[in-house]
């Protein structure tokens, strides 16, 4: 991979990586930092990808790993709620209800929140999520089911009516 390949990856999948980081951190500024780190890593340590989907999966996995590291780091702090202006700069716009649900997803343990995000927001199949996360399809399916149940319980506590 050369310099133009890293630039191509950024132009092609930059929004996806940013959305992934934002969904996991809830902070636009932190999501931008994580996105930058992912693409700087790709630039400085070139990777070989078989397909664009392989590249996209690597970028998403890198973003998820960086988000995990972010939450383990000492710089994690209580941030003020996200400005509406900043939320609108993302390529995907959330309704107020979407934001509440996204916050509930974010509060789930990471193994559930990442699978739910990849399934519902990025629209990956269970098989594709398994490949991205390096897990068996049955494991991903179980994690998704447990995550849904946990999310349902949390939403019901807040008075949401959950329809299946």
Residues 67-90 have pLDDT tens digits of 888 877 655 544 444 444 444 444
Please tell me whether residues 23 and 86 are part of one structural domain. Answer: yes
d(CA 60, CA 118): 9
What average pLDDT does the structure give for the chain?
80
Please tell me whether residues 38 and 100 are part of one structural domain. Answer: no
Please count the other Cβ atoms lying within 10 Å of the Cβ belonging to residue 8. 14
* CATH code of 48's domain: 1.10.1740
For range 9-15, the mean pLDDT: 93
pLDDT at position 127 over 70? yes
Number of domains in the chain: 2
* CATH code of 118's domain: 1.10.10.10
Please tell me whether residues 118 and 134 are part of one structural domain. Answer: yes
Please tell me whether residues 12 and 86 are part of one structural domain. Answer: yes
pLDDT, tens digit (0-9, with 9 covering 90-100), for 99-116: 677 778 888 888 898 899
d(CA 68, CA 55): 20
**Least confident among 31-40, 100-109, 127-136:** 100-109
pLDDT at position 91 over 50? no
3-state secondary structure of 26: coil
HEC sequence for 60-125: HHHHHHHHHHHHHCCCCCCCCCCCHHHHHHCCCCCCHHHHHHHHHHHHCCHHHHHHHHHHHHCCCC
The parent domain of residue 102 ranges over 94-164
Please count the other Cβ atoms lying within 10 Å of the Cβ belonging to residue 73. 8
Please tell me whether residues 119 and 157 are part of one structural domain. Answer: yes
With a pLDDT cut of 90, the percent of the chain lying above it is 30
Instruction: Report yes or no on whether pTM surpasses 0.75.
Output: no
In sequence order, which residues have a C-beta less than 8 Å from that of residue 97 and are 6 or more positions away?
A: none
Q: Measure Cα distances from 28 to 33, 79, 91, 125, 150 in Å.
A: 9, 11, 12, 26, 26
Please tell me whether residues 86 and 9 are part of one structural domain. Answer: yes
């Amino acid at each position: 991979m050369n310099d133009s390949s890293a630039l191509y990856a950024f132009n092609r999948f930059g929004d996806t990586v940013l959305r992934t980081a934002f969904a996991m951190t809830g902070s636009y500024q932190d999501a931008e930092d994580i996105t930058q780190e992912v693409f700087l890593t790709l630039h400085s340590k070139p990777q070989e990808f078989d397909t664009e989907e392989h590249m996209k999966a690597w970028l998403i996995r890198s973003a998820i790993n960086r988000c995990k590291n972010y939450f383990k780091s000492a710089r994690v702090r209580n941030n003020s709620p996200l400005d509406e202006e900043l939320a609108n700069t993302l390529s995907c716009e959330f309704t107020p209800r979407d934001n509440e649900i996204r916050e509930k997803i974010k509060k789930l343990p990471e193994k559930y929140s990442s699978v739910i995000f990849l399934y519902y927001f990025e629209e990956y199949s269970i098989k594709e999520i398994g490949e991205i996360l390096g897990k068996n399809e049955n494991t991903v399916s179980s994690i998704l089911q447990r995550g849904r149940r946990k999310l349902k319980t949390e939403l019901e506590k807040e008075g949401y009516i959950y329809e299946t």
